[in-house]
């Protein structure tokens, strides 16, 4: 299976948390957390359509200014999601600058900020550069099962975790993964082309089997056209498998409710990116700072049934032995008897 999403941490494990997720077949990307973005080139930042912020401690939100500066003067909307209080915080960041000359930009850059509240509602506001980023309130919307973003091919889900403040964990879930059998296309005398994208769209939408798909192409012998049904094509040229799932969890203390929410969020994830801030020997320090230890992270990843574990967000106190946290997390992840986490 060729993955749809290509996730890559922006910084090394001791740096600010930020996960950049590129779309393999589109000029588009998502970003989970907004820490230091210096390693990302401008062209990658400008692919972003949505940014998901766990919370607004500086190491998770310091990249906001670079993101804003690159987007100014461009006719586009960027959507940001965060925890309770996030819309006010975005408004305050924007209000910290002077915008008396922003009208000179010919394009209207727009930010839409949304915060997930405990009652499973999204409270939202829009900010236009042409109005000097004055807040434009939007009606709240209900959220089902934590789904913040629901598109044709994927969804992004969030849970509220305890970091002594509300902090969001996220899961990016591809709904179905559709592979094209190119050898079957050749056997049927069918070309590749835009019609395959339309077929995938219809299959994801569970269109009736008799829905027609028009196939048009041109080759050395001239113009050709065929019309086949979704039902005929689905079984012949597509391989349908479960979609890719990526989970991202940072800044959460270990206790029973957080553990329940994390394991449910990351259930059967292909990759779980999870904080491993302290070693097990420093569990009291981790609890006092509302973070996970590497052992707790590994045990949670195993309990969730994640296929791969990527430890991140290491404390600089372990910089003399950077592999210690990774070793502890991977040992707990691999331990068949890992019923413990404390």
Kindly list the averaged pLDDT for each block of 10 residues, start to end, along the chain of length 342. Answer: 87 97 91 97 97 98 97 96 98 96 92 97 97 97 96 94 98 86 86 87 84 88 88 84 92 98 97 98 97 97 97 96 95 74 54
Model pLDDT, residue 234:
85
Q: Which two tokens stand for residue 308?
A: 């791969």
Q: Which two tokens stand for residue 181?
A: 């059998």
Q: Are 147 and 195 in contact (CB under 8 A)?
A: no
- Cα separation of 325 and 320, whole Å? 11
Model pLDDT, residue 205:
79
- Cα separation of 287 and 272, whole Å? 21
Model pLDDT, residue 216:
87
> Which residues, including other chains, have CB under 8 Å from residue 282's CB and lie 6 or more apart?
293, 317
Model pLDDT, residue 337:
57
DSSP per residue over 290-328, as a string? T--BHHHHHHHHHHHT-SEEEEE---GGGTTSTHHHHHH
Q: Are 327 and 13 in contact (CB under 8 A)?
A: no
Model pLDDT, residue 236:
85
Model pLDDT, residue 338:
54
Residue tagged 């930042």 (tokens): 45
Residue tagged 């005929």 (tokens): 232
Model pLDDT, residue 218:
86
Can you list the domains of the chain with their CATH numbers? 1-158 (no CATH), 177-241 (no CATH), 252-342 (3.60.15.10)
Which of 1-4's residues contact partners 24+ apart within 8 Å by CB, and which partners?
1/177, 1/179, 1/241, 1/244, 2/179, 3/244, 3/270, 4/153, 4/154, 4/174, 4/177, 4/243, 4/244
- Cα separation of 106 and 129, whole Å? 10
């Amino acid at each position: 299976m060729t993955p749809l999403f290509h996730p890559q941490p922006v910084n090394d494990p001791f740096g600010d948390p930020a996960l950049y997720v590129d779309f393999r077949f589109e000029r588009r990307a998502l970003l989970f957390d907004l820490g230091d973005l210096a390693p990302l080139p401008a062209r990658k930042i400008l692919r972003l359509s949505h940014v998901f912020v766990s919370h607004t401690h500086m190491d998770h939100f310091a990249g906001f200014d670079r993101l804003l500066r690159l987007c100014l003067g461009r006719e586009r909307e960027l959507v940001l999601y965060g925890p309770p209080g996030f819309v006010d915080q975005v408004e305050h960041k924007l209000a910290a600058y002077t915008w008396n000359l922003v009208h000179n930009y010919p394009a209207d850059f727009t930010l839409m900020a949304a915060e997930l509240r405990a009652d499973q509602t999204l409270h939202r506001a829009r900010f236009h550069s042409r109005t000097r980023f004055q807040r434009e309130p939007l009606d709240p919307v209900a959220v089902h099962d934590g789904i913040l973003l629901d598109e044709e091919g994927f969804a992004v889900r969030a849970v509220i975790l305890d970091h002594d403040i509300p902090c969001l964990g996220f899961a990016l879930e591809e709904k179905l993964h559709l592979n094209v059998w190119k050898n079957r296309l050749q056997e049927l005398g069918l070309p590749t082309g835009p019609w395959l994208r339309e077929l995938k769209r219809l299959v994801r939408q569970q269109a009736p089997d008799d829905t027609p798909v028009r196939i048009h192409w041109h080759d050395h012998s001239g113009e050709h056209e065929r019309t086949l049904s979704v039902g005929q094509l689905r079984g012949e040229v597509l391989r349908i498998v479960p979609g890719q799932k990526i989970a991202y969890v940072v800044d959460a203390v270990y206790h029973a409710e957080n553990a329940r929410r994390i394991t449910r969020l990351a259930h059967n994830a292909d990759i779980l990116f999870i904080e491993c801030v302290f070693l097990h020997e420093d569990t009291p320090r981790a609890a006092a700072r509302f973070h996970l230890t590497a052992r707790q992270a590994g045990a949670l990843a195993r309990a969730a049934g994640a296929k791969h574990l990527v430890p991140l967000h290491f404390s600089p106190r372990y910089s003399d032995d950077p592999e210690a946290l990774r070793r502890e997390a991977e040992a707990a992840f691999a331990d068949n008897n890992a019923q413990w986490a404390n």
